[in-house]
């Protein structure tokens, strides 16, 4: 059996405005082609839109949204005796946040007709209120894990 590729610890930069590590990671996930300044502008503009709509801080809404969308369980495909089983497994802290950020980003990219900061602001507001596309994705994943609970002993 081949050895696994060595994984190196990733060093994330905190964002420049709020000095928040989680926000720095989110900006990194939104960034395309290494253009961090554009990704920062998108996120900060989204925070401004949130502030105009709710009179609350964008960072608080963002953190609440990430917390709400983070999954507790996911299903992983395991091959046992020639049959593939969807086995529910618990998710660790950083992986939960990463998945939440990915789902929020994908939900924004699927929407059409608005600018990216507006789409991001809408999705963050919806996620902080436990609605929206990213939240639906989390619920679907949890339902899948719940329905395959019988295979948990394969984990």
> Over 90: is that where the pLDDT of 56 sits?
no
Superfamily the domain 21-154 falls into: Ribosomal protein S7/S5 (1.10.455.10)
Report helix, strand or coil for 105.
helix
21-39 mean pLDDT: 93
pLDDT in tens, 68-77: 999 999 999 9
Mean pLDDT of all residues belonging to the chain? 92
Q: Give the whole-angstrom CA distance, residue 93 versus residue 25.
A: 14
Whole-number pLDDT of residue 1? 67
77-94 mean pLDDT: 92
Q: Give the whole-angstrom CA distance, residue 59 versus residue 68.
A: 14
Under the banding of pLDDT at 50, 70 and 90, the label for residue 13 is confident
Percentage of the chain with pLDDT > 90? 79
78-91 mean pLDDT: 93
Whole-number pLDDT of residue 142? 96
- Write out the two tokens for 138: 């989390």
Q: Which of 43, 155, 25 is nearest to 98 (CA)?
A: 25
- This prediction has a pTM of 0.89
Q: Give the whole-angstrom CA distance, residue 121 versus residue 54.
A: 11
pLDDT in tens, 109-154: 999 999 999 999 999 999 999 999 999 999 999 999 999 999 988 8
Please report, for the chain, the start and end positions of each structural domain, with discontinuous segments joined by +. Answer: 21-154
């Amino acid at each position: 059996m081949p050895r696994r590729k060595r994984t190196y610890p990733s060093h994330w930069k905190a964002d420049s405005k709020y000095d928040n590590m989680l926000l720095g990671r989110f900006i990194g996930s939104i960034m395309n082609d290494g253009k961090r300044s554009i990704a920062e502008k998108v996120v900060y503009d989204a925070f401004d839109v949130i502030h105009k709509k709710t009179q609350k801080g964008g960072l608080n809404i963002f953190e609440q949204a990430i917390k709400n969308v983070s999954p507790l369980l996911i299903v992983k495909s395991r091959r046992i005796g020639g049959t593939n089983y969807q086995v529910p497994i618990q998710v660790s802290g950083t992986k939960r946040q990463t998945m939440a950020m990915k789902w929020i980003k994908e939900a924004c990219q699927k929407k059409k007709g608005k600018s990216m900061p507006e789409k991001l602001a809408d999705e963050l507001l919806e996620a902080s209120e436990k609605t929206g596309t990213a939240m639906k994705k989390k619920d679907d994943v949890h339902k899948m894990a719940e329905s395959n609970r019988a295979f948990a002993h394969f984990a």
